Chain A
Amino acid sequence: MVADEPTFARLMVAAQDGDKAATNVLLSEVGVWLERYFKRRVPPHSIDDLVQDVLIAFYTKRATWDPSRAFLPWLAAIARYRWVDHLRKVYKHDAKELFEDDAVEDSEEEVVLARVSLDRLFGQLPDKQAEAIQLVKIGGLSIREAAEKTGQSESLVKVNIHRGLKKLAAMVEKAD
């Protein structure tokens, strides 16, 4: 059972005032809420890293919550910000590898984007970019295999993945 909005708000007021017991309960409950939040967004093995990352951000930025406003939208905004930041790191890592190394390895970070609930976002990408990302990042094909399958050159597959991932990160950031 996850705490409700009034309970979160009451605990948060106490946390801002320096109440350690309330803060301990609050952080635990926020952790549970964040697990649910990220469950639909990232692969299971990445959830706890993100939850801990957001818990630290939540703690560091606790002074920015205004008690006259709802707590959960504030928490959701922080969670989304850290999630986008995570996507950007994955994107940078991914883009660097695409252009420096032909071998595609499935590191833990690389598959994050592939497993994020992308169906809705894919619909907004050009077909060739979505296809390249799906084949290489989700299907696990190499650049060469994807090139053969799609009839695109290897360079074009790389460019389509690069541009597609960049667009995805931007779309996630802009979506409210």
Chain B
Amino acid sequence: MKNDIPSSTRMDRDALIAALTEDLTPVKRVKPANGAILIGFATIVAAIVSIAIFEFWTGMVSGEASGFFWITNGLLMVLGAASTSALVASALPRVGTRANAPFWSAAMLAVMPVAALLTMFSIEATHDHSVSAFADPALLYFECALYGTGAGLLVATAAVMFLRQGAPVSIERASWLTGLAAGSLGSLAYGITCPLDTISHVGIVHVLPVAVSAVAARFVVPPLIRW
């Protein structure tokens, strides 16, 4: 095989190999578990910062929190775990089947805003405007989506740092996963400080950061992780 190559080309390659070998140093292997720890740590920091700014919502431990609160945050946690797991695995080059659990998890979470909207329109259809879901003041607190997305920036930073250490071979997929992980874990981190637990609030406002982060990451992350 080597004899098929022109001698000038062979010399170029030999010179390259000699130069690379000369500079060789031992390397510390990139491990997906370290990426998961880094993202988990960023999530905890985001939660601590959220608590420092907005204070912990004691309704979580006093039994005051509604079922919608637990279901939404539970789904955010599942999506965060699934996307983080797929993201750290995507940092190592490989071929073959890819896990699509994060995208099914995102589909499950998408049930929440759909359910919220259906509930709101159903109540509206009764013409009992005294209980109009559109009049729910909690629905107007869209600042929560902003805070959740902001908390997700910490998670996204950790994810990008890890992906840059690795060698993702599917840049677009790694970018979507970064957005899903950042949006879900950021919203979860902020969510433990938010006392608004109606379906219209948690089902829409607290899920919005996931969609916003995923789309933003799809366009912002690729140049940061391309190698």
Q: Which residues of A contact B (CB under 8 A)?
A: 1-2, 15-18, 20, 23-24, 27-28, 31-32, 35-36, 48, 51-52, 55-57, 59-67, 69, 73-74, 76-78, 80-81, 173, 176
With A27-B21, A31-B13, A48-B13 known as contacts, the answer to whether A61 contacts B167 (CB < 8 A) is yes
The dominant DSSP class at the A interface is helix
Shortest Cβ distance from B140 into chain A, in angstroms? Answer: 42
Q: Are A69 and B94 in contact (CB under 8 A)?
A: yes
| Contact pick for A77, options B1, B16, B94, B97, CB 8 Å | B94
> Given A73-B96, A81-B93: A66 and B13 within 8 A (CB)?
no
**B167 nearest CB neighbor, chain A only:** A61
Contact status A20-B95, CB under 8 Å = no
10 more A-B residue pairs beyond the given contacts A35-B1, A74-B94, with a C-beta to C-beta distance below 8 A:
A18-B27, A24-B17, A24-B21, A52-B16, A61-B93, A63-B28, A64-B166, A66-B31, A78-B167, A176-B97
Residues of B bordering A, CB below 8 Å? 1-2, 4-5, 9, 12-13, 16-18, 20-22, 24-31, 91-98, 165-167, 169-170, 172, 227
Instruction: State how many angstroms separate the Cβ of B162 from the closest Cβ of chain A.
Output: 11
10 closest residue pairs by CB, A with B: A18-B26, A77-B93, A63-B27, A61-B167, A81-B169, A27-B17, A64-B167, A24-B21, A48-B9, A59-B20
Of the candidates A1, A51, A60, A78, the one whose C-beta lies within 8 Å of that of B93 is A78
Residue from B24, B28, B97, B165 in contact with A15 in the complex, judged by beta carbons closer than 8 Å: B24
Shortest Cβ distance from A69 into B: residue: B94
What secondary structure prevails in chain B residues at the interface with A? loop
Most buried by A among B18, B29, B172: B29
A80 touches B95 (CB 8 A): yes
- Give Cα A113 to B194, complex, Å: 54
How long is the Cα–Cα vector from A20 to B18 in the complex, in angstroms?
10
Chain B residue numbers with a CB within 8 Å of A73 are 94-96
Alpha-carbon distance A27/B95, docked complex (angstroms): 21
Contact A62 B5 (CB under 8 A): no
Residue contact A20 to B21, C-beta cutoff 8 Å? yes
Among the listed B4, B13, B31, which residue makes an inter-chain contact with A55, where contact means beta carbons less than 8 Å apart?
B13
Question: Is B17 a contact partner of A2 (Cβ separation < 8 A)?
Answer: no
The answer to whether A66 touches B29, judged by C-beta atoms less than 8 angstroms apart, is: yes
Q: How far is the CB of A11 from chain B (nearest CB, A)?
A: 12
User: Could you list 13 examples of A-B contacts with CB < 8 Å?
Assistant: A16-B29, A18-B26, A27-B20, A36-B1, A52-B12, A52-B16, A57-B167, A63-B27, A63-B29, A64-B92, A64-B167, A73-B94, A81-B167
